[in-house]
Amino acid sequence: MTPKSWLGRFLLYITNNEPFSRHEQEFDIAFFIVNTIAVLAGSAYIAYIGEWQWIPFLVIEYTWAIDTMRHNRP
């Protein structure tokens, strides 16, 4: 096995861009819950300290992560 082919397969697995998903469904559920808590708590904290301009950044990152997870399902 050449390093390039190993690296290519590893990156496909990590990014979940294989033709079928080998990631565990429990991981996806935990990922969704943790990200949802993070966006809600982060938004509340940012609003509390008065840095409102960062809330859209949190929401964009959240939707990007959830969209990536959703599109990588078989």
Of 19, 20, 32, nearest in space to 67 by CA: 32
Q: Is residue 12 part of a domain?
A: no
Q: Is residue 1 part of a domain?
A: no
Measured distance CA(58)–CA(65) in Å, rounded: 11
Where is pLDDT greater, at 45 or 61? 45
DSSP 8-state assignment for residue 18: S
Residue pair 55/46 in contact (Cβ under 8 Å)? The answer is yes
Task: Say what the pLDDT of residue 65 is.
Answer: 79
Overall number of domains in the chain: 1
Task: Say what the pLDDT of residue 44 is.
Answer: 94
Q: Is residue 38 part of a domain?
A: yes
Average pLDDT over residues 16-31: 66
63 pLDDT tier (thresholds 50, 70, 90): confident
Reply yes or no on whether the pLDDT at 12 is more than 70.
no
Beta strands in the chain (DSSP E): none
Average pLDDT over residues 24-46: 83
Q: Is residue 39 part of a domain?
A: yes
Task: Say what the pLDDT of residue 45 is.
Answer: 94
Where is pLDDT greater, at 7 or 74? 7
Q: Supply the Cα-derived Rg of the chain in whole angstroms.
A: 16
User: Which residue range forms the structural domain that includes residue 42?
Assistant: 23-74
